[in-house]
Amino acid sequence: MTNEKILLANGILDYFGKYSLPPPVIVGGVGGSGTRLIVKLLREMSIQMGENVNVSEDAKEFIGIYDAHITAYLLKQFIDMPVFQADLLSAIKAHRQNMVSGNWGWKNPRTIYLLPILDKLMPSFNYIHVIRDGLEMVGSSNKNQLEKYQSCLLNSEQVMLPSDIRAILFWATVNQSASNYGIAHMGERYMLLRFEDVCSDPTEAMRPIAERLGLVLPKKWNETIRPPEKRKEKIRIDNLSQILAVSGDALKRFGYPY
C-alpha cells in the first residue's frame, strides 16, 4: 500500500467510516461571490453547516488551518500532508459538535484554493463553487483574497497593474482553475452555482444540488432573496475596455458575455 493510501486509510476517511458520516458539502468561491446566501439556503434544505460561524457564515474551525496552509500550497511549497490532515480532522471534529446524523458541511470561500488537496483527503466530498459576474466582483469592496493571494497567482507584471485589472485577472485565474479541476476530477461532485441565478430563481438554481444530494426543496424560502447589488457601475470607464480585453473569454465561459 502506498504512503498516500495509508494516509487516507488511517485519517479522515477512517473517521467518516467509524461514524457512518455522509461526505460533506463544502461551499467556496472568490470572496464577495455570495457564498453567505448559499449557506443560508442550504440550511433550509436541512444541511447542517455548523453553529460556530462568523457573520459571513464562515465556519470558524477552519479559518486557522486555511491561514496556515493556503499560501504555501499556492506557491507550490512543500506541505506536510499528515500535518495538514491532522489539522483538518481536528477542525472537522470541532465543527461537527452538536450535529446529528444527516447531511452536513461547511462554508469558507477560501476552500476554492485547496480543491486538489482536499479531494485527496476526502475523495467523496461535494463542492459548491459559487461564482458571481466578474465585473460586479471588480466593483466589490471585498478585496481580501486579492490582497492575500495575488502575489501567489499573478505574475510580477500583473501585480503592478491598476486595481481593477488585477481584480478581474484574479477572478478569472481562480475561478477557471477551480472549474478546470472540478470538471476534470470531481464529476458530479463539483457543482457550479451562479449567484445571479440564485437571486433570480432560487428554487430552480438550487434544484440540481437538491437532486444530487437527495434533498427536498422547501415550498417557500424563509430567507429573503434580494436582487444582486449593482457594483460594476463603480468601475472607472477608462479601465472597462482593458478589463474586458483581459477577461472576455473567462466571462463568456461562465455565462457573462459582454
Joined grid coordinates for residue 128: 459548491
Residue 6: the pLDDT is: 43
Residue 46 carries which DSSP code? T
Q: Are 137 and 167 in contact (CB under 8 A)?
A: yes
Joined grid coordinates for residue 173: 485565474
**Whether pLDDT at 57 is above 90:** yes
Write the DSSP string, 191-208: EEEEHHHHHH-HHHHHHH
Q: Which of 95, 96, 101, 105 is nearest to 128 (CA)?
A: 105
Distance CA 141, CA 123 (A): 35
Residue 102 carries which DSSP code? S
Q: Strand, helix or coil at 125?
A: coil
Distance CA 114, CA 139 (A): 26
Distance CA 146, CA 144 (A): 5
* pLDDT (tens digit per residue) in 187-237: 999 999 999 999 999 999 999 999 999 999 999 999 989 888 787 777 777
- The CATH architecture annotation of domain 3-253 reads 3-Layer(aba) Sandwich (3.40)
* pLDDT (tens digit per residue) in 66-109: 999 999 999 988 888 889 999 999 999 999 999 999 999 999 99
**Whether pLDDT at 174 is above 50:** yes
- Listed by start position, the domains of the chain span 3-253
